[in-house]
Amino acid sequence: MNSETSFASGKTAPERNANHAATAPAYFSAYDLHSYYGESYIVQGVSFNVHEGEILALLGRNGAGKTSTLRTIARLASPALVKGELWLDHQSLHDKRAHEAAIAGVGLVPEDRRIISGLTVEENLELAQIVEPKGWSIERLYELFPRLGERRKQEGTTLSGGEQQMLAIARALARDIKLLLLDEPYEGLAPVIVQEIEKTLHLIREQGMTTIIVEQNAIAALEISDRAVILDTGAVVFDGTAAQVLENDALRQEYLAI
Ligand SMILES: Nc1ncnc2c1ncn2[C@@H]1O[C@H](COP(=O)(O)OP(=O)(O)O)[C@@H](O)[C@H]1O
Ligand SMILES: [Mg+2]
């Protein structure tokens, strides 16, 4: 499979990706993504747009392909993208590798958070800022996450689950990102901590950050999202507003089991 040849090489996002905004290309576009883990065909023609400053909830049952779609967007080696286009703020991502996509502005916060052991909270954030351009200053991140400021000298891996999630998000924002990808940020966290992270996501949106949030806790994700895309067996089965999903019991029962 040759992933290099099947891609268009134009410098601007194709007009056809502008389905939700007839007059301008979307800020972020995924167009007809197909990706594989080895022989396993998992992401099966996914397309959606995200507008600048929007929060999009990417939902679907366990195994629907949400994590695989985020990993494809972040251009991780697996699953391998074999066809499709990805555009972020007029830059192509489909022809990039993960580190290049990161430089182009993709910030993935993976489900397992990957806090670096042996480093303090502050060192985890400093490490994220080694490569220019930097994003939010460490002082600004401590304003957003006061708990991290209080624990700046503590080893990152000794934080509570909620605090580690905050550190993982802060670390993404410490780089100059254009698109924040959150994979199950509420997983395993007590409701009171979920509320705290929700508040932070509202503040991040107020700063204009464009975000895709994947969550099993669909209701919580929908409450902070503008729009929603629902996946089922690696394909988009719904694309609309978050309110439409919250109002549609049949849709939620069929694809979200809630
Ligand atoms: N590393 C992998 N190798 C092979 N198949 C995988 C791998 N990771 C996930 N899958 C499969 O891909 C499908 C989608 O998984 P995933 O994207 O993790 O779903 P979700 O995040 O929606 O729960 C599932 O059938 C899963 O078993
Ligand atoms: Mg997942």
Pair 149, 125: CB distance under 8 Å: no
* Average predicted confidence (pLDDT) for the chain: 91
Residue with the smallest CA separation from ligand 1 atom 7 is 37
Whether a cis peptide bond, with omega within 30° of 0, leads into 79 is yes
Tokens for 71, please give them. 């990993």
pLDDT number for residue 22:
47
- 102 Cα to the center of ligand 2, angstroms: 20
pLDDT number for residue 133:
86
φ, ψ of residue 20 to 5 degrees: the values are -95, -5
pTM score of the predicted model: 0.91
The mean per-residue pLDDT over the stretch 52-78 comes to 97
- 187 Cα to the center of ligand 2, angstroms: 10
- 23-58 per-position pLDDT tens digit: 567 999 999 999 999 999 999 999 999 999 999 999
Residue with the smallest CA separation from ligand 1 atom 6 is 37
pLDDT number for residue 5:
39
Q: For ligand 1, what atom is nearest to the CA of residue 78?
A: 1
Q: For ligand 1, what atom is nearest to the CA of residue 70?
A: 17
- 77-118 per-position pLDDT tens digit: 999 999 999 999 999 999 999 999 999 999 999 998 889 899
- 132-176 per-position pLDDT tens digit: 889 999 999 999 999 999 999 999 999 999 999 999 999 999 999
Residue of 67, 69, 109 with the most ligand 1 atoms within 8 Å of its CB, for mutation: 67
φ, ψ of residue 234 to 5 degrees: the values are 75, 15
% of the chain beyond a pLDDT of 90:
86
Distance (Å, whole) CA 220 – CA 31: 27
Which residues sit with their C-beta closer than 6 Å to ligand 1? Answer: 37, 40, 42, 60, 62-68
- 24 Cα to the center of ligand 2, angstroms: 31
Distance (Å, whole) CA 147 – CA 59: 29
- 48 Cα to the center of ligand 1, angstroms: 20
State the CB neighbour count (10 A cutoff) for residue 239. Answer: 16
What secondary structure does DSSP assign to 181-221, as a single string? EEESTTTT--HHHHHHHHHHHHHHHHTT-EEEEE-S-HHHH
